[in-house]
Chains A and B, each alone.
Chain A
Amino acid sequence: MTKRVSSAGRWLPREMAVLLVALATLPLWIEPVGLYQYLGVEIAIWMIYGLGFNLLLGYSGLPSFGHGAFFGIGAYAFGLFQLWAFESLWLGILCAVFAAFVAGAVVACFLSHRRGIYFALMTIAFGQVFWFIAIKWHAVTGGEDGLLNIPRPALDVGLASAGLESNTALYCFVLAVLAAVLVLLWRLVHSPFGKVLQAIRQNEARARFVGYNVWMFKWTVFSLSAAIAGLAGSLFSMAQQSAYPDVISLHASGIIVMMTLIGGGFVSFWGPVIGVTVYFLARDVLGTLTETWLLWFGLMFVVAVLFKPEGIAGAWQEHVGAASGRSRARRALAGLLSTGRD
Chain B
Amino acid sequence: MTHVLPHLLNGLSLGLLFALIALGFMLIVGVMELINLAHGSLFALGAYFAMVIVAPDVAWLGAAGEAWLALPLSVRYVLAILVAPLLVAVVGMGLELCMRRTYGRKAEYGLLLTFGAALVIEETIRLVWGPSERYLQVPQAISGAFLFAGLVYSKYKLFAALFAMAAIALVWLLLERTPYGAIIKAGAHDSEMVRALGINLTRLRLLVFGLGAGLAGFAGIVLTPIWGLRPHVGIDAVIPAFLIIVLGGVGSFWGAVIGGILVGLAVGVTGAYAAEWSLLSMYLLLIAVVTVRARGLLGKKSALEA
A interface residue numbers (CB < 8 A to B) = 61, 63, 65, 110, 113-118, 120-122, 124-126, 128-129, 132-133, 136, 250-251, 254, 257-258, 261, 292, 294-295, 297-299, 301-302, 305-307, 309
Contact = CB atoms under 8 A, between A and B. Distances in A.
23 contacts: A63-B111, A65-B111, A113-B294, A115-B305, A116-B106, A117-B33, A117-B35, A117-B304, A122-B246, A122-B290, A124-B239, A129-B283, A129-B284, A251-B235, A258-B115, A258-B116, A261-B112, A295-B119, A295-B123, A299-B120, A305-B112, A307-B101, A309-B112
A298 B119 contact: yes
Contact of A302 (B33, B35, B113): B113
B280 A63 contact: no
B280 A136 contact: yes
B140 interface: no
Main SS class of interface, A: helix
B137 interface: no
Contacts of A117: 33, 35, 107-108, 111, 304
A129 B283 CA distance: 6
Contacts of A258: 115-116
Contacts of A298: 116, 119-120, 123
Given A117-B304, A292-B127, A305 B283 contact: no
Interface of B: 33, 35, 98, 101-102, 105-109, 111-113, 115-117, 119-120, 123-124, 126-127, 232, 235, 239, 242-243, 246, 276-277, 279-280, 283-284, 286-287, 290-291, 294, 304-306
A257 B123 contact: no
B48 to A, nearest CB: 16
Contact of B304 (A116, A124, A128, A257): A116
Given A115-B305, A301-B116, A306-B98, 16 more contacts: A63-B111, A63-B112, A110-B291, A118-B294, A122-B246, A125-B246, A125-B283, A125-B287, A129-B280, A129-B284, A292-B123, A292-B127, A302-B98, A302-B113, A306-B113, A309-B105
B305 A306 contact: no
A173 B113 CA distance: 37
Given A125-B283, A305-B109, A295 B120 contact: yes
B283 A294 contact: no
Can you list the 6 inter-chain pairs with the closest CB atoms, starting with the nearest? Answer: A295-B123, A298-B119, A302-B116, A301-B116, A298-B120, A129-B283
Contacts of B246: 118, 121-122, 125
B123 A306 contact: no
A120 B101 contact: no
B39 to A, nearest CB: 13
Contacts of A306: 98, 101-102, 113
B266 to A, nearest CB: 14
Contact of A132 (B243, B280, B306): B280
Contacts of A126: 283, 287
Contacts of B107: 116-117
A294 B108 contact: no
B305 A116 contact: yes
Contacts of A120: 35, 108, 111
A133 B286 CA distance: 16
A10 B291 CA distance: 43
A258 B115 CA distance: 9
A128 B306 contact: no
A128 B283 contact: yes
Please indicate which of the listed interface residues A65, A114, A116, A261 has the most CB atoms of chain B within 10 Å of its own CB: A116
Please indicate which of the listed interface residues B120, B126, B284 has the most CB atoms of chain A within 10 Å of its own CB: B120
Nearest to B33: A117
